[in-house]
Every structure is written in C-alpha cells, then in structure tokens.
Homo-oligomer: A and B are copies of this chain.
Amino acid sequence: MAVIFPSRRVRKTPFTPGVEAAGVGGYTVYNHMLLPTFFEGVAADAAHLKQHVQIWDVACERQVQIKGPDALRLMKLLSPRDMDRMEPDQCYYVPTVDHQGGMLNDPVAVKLADDHYWLSVADGDLWQFALGLAIGRSLDVEIDEPDVSPLAVQGPKADDLMARVFGDVVRDIRFFRYKRLPFEGREFVVARSGWSKQGGFEIYVEGSEYGMPLWDALFAAGQDLNVRAGCPNNIERIESGLLSFGNDMGRENTPYECGLGRFCNSPEDFIGKAALADQAKNGPPRQIRPLVIEGEIGMCAGSWPLLADGRQVGQVGSAIHSPEFGVNVAIGMVDRSHWAPGTRIEIETEQGMRWAVVQERFWR
C-alpha cells in the first residue's frame, strides 16, 4: 500500500470531485486514470451493493472509437464474434486476440451505427493495436478516444433509481442492450450492463461537463434508496466469476482458456482465427476455474502458483474472503490435469502454503 499522486498522465475523471467528497478509501490506476477500489471497506461495500444501489465512477473504461467507411471491416478483424449478427442497440462482449490467439483485451463493443463503434476497454491501450492494424491494412477509419466517461449504477435498486432520473423507459432496456436517453438537453447511451451481478446500468456520459451534474442528480434522487458511491467490488465480482483482464488472464491466454469460447463464432477471417482452430476443436490445455482457498489468506497482490508434486499446474490472480459464502473465493487458471471439480491443489500465497479446491461453479 502506498500513496498515489494524480498528474496529467494519471488522470482524474469527471466524477473525481464526487468520489473524493464521498470519502474514497483507495485508488488503482486503470487506462491511465484513477479508479476507486473501496469506500467504507471492500466487505462493507459488497454488503451494501447487494442490498441497495451504488454509483460507480468507471470513467476509466475508456472508449476506443472506430468510425468511418471501413469501421465494420476493422471490427471484423478485431472481433472473434460474428459482427453481422449485432443489432443497432446492442453491446457485445468481445475477447480481442493477437495473431497467435493471445488475449489483448476483453472490451464491450457498443454499436452506434453501421460505421461507428465504441470498444469499452479493460486496462490496456487496445486503441494502439487497432490503429496499427488499420494503418497496416490501409483502412479508411478514424480511431480515437472520445470524451466519453461511463458511470455505472449497480445494485438491486438500480432500476428504481434510474427510472427517477431517466424515466420508466429504463425498465424496458434488455441485458446488453441500450437506449439513447436525454439528460439536461443531451442524449446518452444507457445500457443494461456493468461489472457486477447485482443488476444495473452503465451510462456513457458524453461530455465531461455533464459528469458531476449527473452524479449529483442520481444522488439527489436516491436518498431514500440508500444510494452510495461504490466501485467494482473485488468480493462481489470474484463470487460472480467476472474476469479481470491483467489479473485473471493476459496475452498468454486464449479466449478458450478464459472460458470465453462461446464468443468466438465469427465466420470471418479475424486476427488469430487460424491460431485458435485447434483449441476451438479440442479445447484448451488450461482454463479459468473457481477455487476455494482454505485457511487464512492475505491480499493477493500478485500471482499465486498452484502446485502439484512440486510442479506448477496453474495460478491464481484474484482471491479474497467472502463474508456471504464464508470461504475464501478465488479465480485461477488451472491445467486440464487438475481442473476437475473437487481437486485439491497446493497454493503458494504470500503468507505461506495453503490448499485450494476446484469448484463446480462460481457462487453467483
């Protein structure tokens, strides 16, 4: 744990004044921007999230804007998913890979028009890959980062709160679909999505100057709903099996290893397709698994090796105690030889050796 200074390079967000006023307890840096990590505490935040409604500053989910006559052509190169099936109000989870099938990012694609897409990216400058590829292939497309800052509204009371600010029409938005809804004379993309399984929305706030007015409007409307500032919660998201790019997987992994094979259905010749053919047919040699770690554990500040007979059979990149389930929940990348539910594997944590047990499924 150490202090961090914001700078122009490590940017504040349009919502930072609200986050600071709400008493943020810690930050991480994500896409060159501040991302809160807790407010009251990770466990207290999780308990509140599961009962009420929270406003999350996820401006760090920056948008890679792809616009122009060749936008769809570039999307088809970048996306293992069949882009022709994507409807004009849809969001697609798109595990993007390199020529060897290694994960580059796992953005959510938002289709704004046939020649206009956003990729709402995990941590990493995916725009640089898209730009290099577009230049290399001489595609007629513009790639930049627009002034769009997502704000998430998450929790079981999210529909009620959002309806008060955007109208009852929000209740009709289906999962991973969006509507364009007005706020103070501007229209925002409002999607039913977000990095929790408590339900909720992501508002793509276009224009930094609308950030705090929207933040304030949501808080003013939600006082009796016990609305609070929150952030992606490391307990809730591990219980829910939501993967964190860079923690749970990276370029060394394929989408099949990440359990994302169902998103690789494109008939097009996307980058990495040939390299993925074998795993598409025969399955991957290792894969993401939920694990319980026995005993007491500390903070997972790196990668914890999974060991069997002194040989490494995987690693864990995320682990934390779950008060709700009364166990230490973890996400690991586990070799095929040891991935069957019930398998007990030794794990080397920073506080010593523990036992990890492969689970049948995530907790939610």
When C-beta atoms are compared, the residue in chain B nearest to A9 turns out to be B246
Chain B residues contacting A131 (CB-CB under 8 Å) are 98, 129, 132
Chain B residues contacting A266 (CB-CB under 8 Å) are none
Contact with B along A191-229 (1 / 0, CB 8 A): 000000000000000000000000000000000000000
Question: CA separation between A6 and B9, bound complex, in Å?
Answer: 19
Question: CA separation between A24 and B26, bound complex, in Å?
Answer: 18
For residue A12, CB closer than 8 A to chain B, the reply is: yes
Chain B residues contacting A359 (CB-CB under 8 Å) are none
Given known A3-B1, A32-B246, contact A8–B302 (CB-CB < 8 A): yes
Chain B residues contacting A245 (CB-CB under 8 Å) are 9
Chain B residues contacting A8 (CB-CB under 8 Å) are 246-247, 300-303, 317-318
When C-beta atoms are compared, the residue in chain B nearest to A98 turns out to be B131
Contact-residue size bin, chain A (C-beta under 8 Å from the other chain): 35 or more
Question: CA separation between A136 and B141, bound complex, in Å?
Answer: 14
A-to-B contact residues, CB < 8 Å: 1-12, 24-29, 32, 34, 37, 98-99, 104, 123-126, 128-137, 244-247, 271, 299-303, 317-318
Chain B residues contacting A32 (CB-CB under 8 Å) are 123, 246
* Residue from A8, A34, A123 having most chain B Cβ neighbours under 10 A: A8
When C-beta atoms are compared, the residue in chain B nearest to A245 turns out to be B9
Q: Oligomeric state, in number of copies?
A: 2
Question: CA separation between A3 and B94, bound complex, in Å?
Answer: 32
Given contacts A5-B299, A125-B125, 18 further A-B contacts (CB under 8 A): A1-B4, A2-B24, A2-B27, A2-B34, A3-B3, A3-B4, A4-B27, A4-B29, A8-B301, A12-B302, A32-B246, A125-B128, A128-B132, A129-B129, A132-B132, A132-B133, A132-B135, A135-B136
| B301→A7 contact, CB < 8 A | yes
When C-beta atoms are compared, the residue in chain B nearest to A11 turns out to be B302
When C-beta atoms are compared, the residue in chain B nearest to A126 turns out to be B128
13 sample A-B contacts, Cβ–Cβ < 8 Å, listed by A number: A2-B27, A3-B4, A4-B27, A7-B28, A7-B247, A11-B302, A12-B302, A28-B29, A124-B125, A128-B128, A129-B129, A129-B131, A132-B133
| A135→B2 contact, CB < 8 A | no
Question: CA separation between A28 and B2, bound complex, in Å?
Answer: 9
Question: CA separation between A221 and B299, bound complex, in Å?
Answer: 35
Question: CA separation between A99 and B138, bound complex, in Å?
Answer: 10
Candidates B6, B37, B302; contact of A301 at CB < 8 Å: B6
Question: CA separation between A9 and B124, bound complex, in Å?
Answer: 10
When C-beta atoms are compared, the residue in chain B nearest to A104 turns out to be B128
The 3 closest A-B pairs by CB, nearest first: A136-B136, A132-B132, A9-B246
Chain B residues contacting A247 (CB-CB under 8 Å) are 7-9
Question: CA separation between A123 and B131, bound complex, in Å?
Answer: 17
Question: CA separation between A355 and B34, bound complex, in Å?
Answer: 30
How far apart are A186's CB and chain B's nearest CB, in angstroms?
A: 23
Question: CA separation between A124 and B131, bound complex, in Å?
Answer: 14
